[in-house]
Amino acid sequence: MANFLTMVLIAVIGVVGVVPTAAITIMIPVVIIWKIIRKIKNGYSLYQ
């Protein structure tokens, strides 16, 4: 029983670590592309 609870806890901790890492990995290029598109279409600064 203790072995099962340990495995469940490890799985939960793994998911908790993977979700924010995946979100950051996906969102950084999306924001950069969005800023470039905004620069081309509207002439806004890349730093705003």
Chain segment 7-41, per-residue pLDDT in tens: 999 999 999 999 999 999 999 999 999 999 999 99
Q: What CA–CA distance (Å, rounded) separates 38 from 22?
A: 25
pTM confidence score: 0.64
pLDDT class of 2 with cuts at 50, 70, 90: confident
Please report, for the chain, the start and end positions of each structural domain, with discontinuous segments joined by +.
1-48
Write out the two tokens for 4. 């099962």
Q: What CA–CA distance (Å, rounded) separates 35 from 48?
A: 9
**18 φ/ψ angles, rounded to the nearest 5 degrees:** -75, -40
